[in-house]
Amino acid sequence: MRARTLVVAKTGSEVWRASAELDDEGYPTITAETHASAIIAAKDLRIDAVVIDASLPELDPSVLCASIRSQCAPRLVPVLVIGPRDRVSHLDLGSVTSALVTPAHPKQLLNRVKSLLRTTIIEREIKLRAETFQERGVKLTLPGKEIYNAPFRILFCGEASPAFMGLSAALSSAGVEVTAAFTAYTAFDYLHEHDFDAVVLGASDSPKQAYGVVSGMRRNSRHFHVPALLLAEAGFEDTSEAFERDFDDIISAKSPLEDMRARVLELARDCRHKAALKTAFEGTKTSGLMDAGTGLFTKEVFATHLLRLVKSARTNEQPLSLVTMRLVETPAVARARASGALDRALPQIGQMMGRLLRTEDTAGRLSFDVFAMALPSTPLLPARLAADRVTSVIDCTAFENAQDEPFQVAFHIGVAELLPSETAEKFLARTVANMGRRAAV
């Protein structure tokens, strides 16, 4: 079931037209034109995200957001407000999730909604982990407003155009640290040496250099999630291509400086928030509750956490899938087991598994050579694809065996999606019982 978005906008408006991209990409939308109709939709239907057109004079986005969240409680529903700067700049990010200054490109709206949905899943998971760890006497530090205390750091790459000089001054006046790099080589030097909350790429004559920089960023795991904004001069028309090349926003050099600054800071805040969530997840690895060899959840902690995942899936009306993997006892594996090489290989396998999963996924070691992965908000087919992706990478890896040739491993895998009214114990048992086929390589 794909996420459903409630779009509060007048039929035919800019936001309404942009939201058509969600439907085109398989994310169904429901349109409401008034406060009352939006509340009815939130009450009667499962809503996963909300987009509010702040240009509607009769709507108060903060009040509407609070009303919708009250109807959806206890489910956490992200709210994106789109409108002129004077209608969104005053909004408290405690009341709305994110704000976007118009104009909004359809692809930009799609990407922003998808990002908010993913972030919501990650936030839900870290809160569940904090509860699981707290139960065992370990406190996880969750990110709060203190993550925004340090100045935002913005990298600019391009010519020192009047638009850049104006934007740089506007950002600096808000306490932002701006670093300028006038060549792509210098920009990548800065990116490798420092962490930035956003990157602004100038395209005064040609976007070629900007396209090259963003392409390099998206191929680098460290910089992949850093938002990139294109500062476009008058006459730039390739907006669709820019978004296809993974830019997060396009800033017109003709825009008021306050609007330009607002667009940069919104994405910088989002980046800082995601980085803080990642740091919180990293804290689970040093909690003392993980399997010493692999860094994965132990059998006991995984079972406890699975109880919460099942409850959360039902509360939030989201799918939950489970994958279990048991080593295939081939002659090569038997020899490695006898020589002790398997003892050294299995921790490597567990570590590989942890790196191949998404942030919000939970991996555990159930026994010496049996592993499990819980995939929230994931139906059966994508879970099977995820299992095959993980096992295919491991299957292709050669592990050292001092007394024999390097050996490879394969797994029997079981995949299942949570059934209505199914307990966590039966869910895990059914998945284990499905371990009858070898993963596709």
| Separation in Å, CA 53 to CA 18, 58, 295 | 11, 11, 45
Asked if residue 129 belongs to a domain, the reply is no
Asked if residue 133 belongs to a domain, the reply is no
Terminal alpha carbon distance of the chain: 28
User: What pairing do the DSSP bridges indicate for beta strands 5-8 and 49-53?
Assistant: parallel
* Count of residues in the chain: 441
Expressed as residue numbers, the domain containing 22 is 5-119
CATH code of the domain covering residue 263: 3.40.50.2300
What percentage of the chain carries pLDDT values higher than 70?
A: 97
Tokens at 146, concatenated: 């203190």
In this prediction, residue 93 has a pLDDT band, given cuts at 50, 70 and 90, of low
Q: Are residues 270 and 227 in contact, defined by beta-carbon separation less than 8 angstroms?
A: yes
Query: Residues 198, 113: one domain?
Result: no
Provide the number of structural domains found in the chain: 3
Q: What is the pLDDT of residue 238?
A: 81
With a cut of 50, say whether residue 59 has pLDDT above it: yes
Query: Residues 303, 434: one domain?
Result: yes
Query: Residues 154, 230: one domain?
Result: yes
pLDDT tens for 322-371 read 999 999 999 999 989 998 899 999 999 998 998 899 999 999 999 999 99
CATH code of the domain covering residue 332: 3.30.70.270
pLDDT tens for 9-21 read 998 899 999 999 9
pLDDT tens for 140-182 read 888 888 888 899 999 999 888 899 999 999 999 999 999 999 8
Q: Give one DSSP letter per residue of 167-214, joined into a string.
A: HHHHHHHTT-EEEEESSHHHHHHHHHHS--SEEEEEESS-SHHHHHHH
Q: What is the pLDDT of residue 418?
A: 97
CA dihedral 215, 25, 3, 33 (to 10 degrees): 110
Q: Give one DSSP letter per residue of 116-157, joined into a string.
A: HHHHHHHHHHHHHHHHHHHHTT-------GGGGSSPPEEEEE
With a cut of 90, say whether residue 29 has pLDDT above it: yes
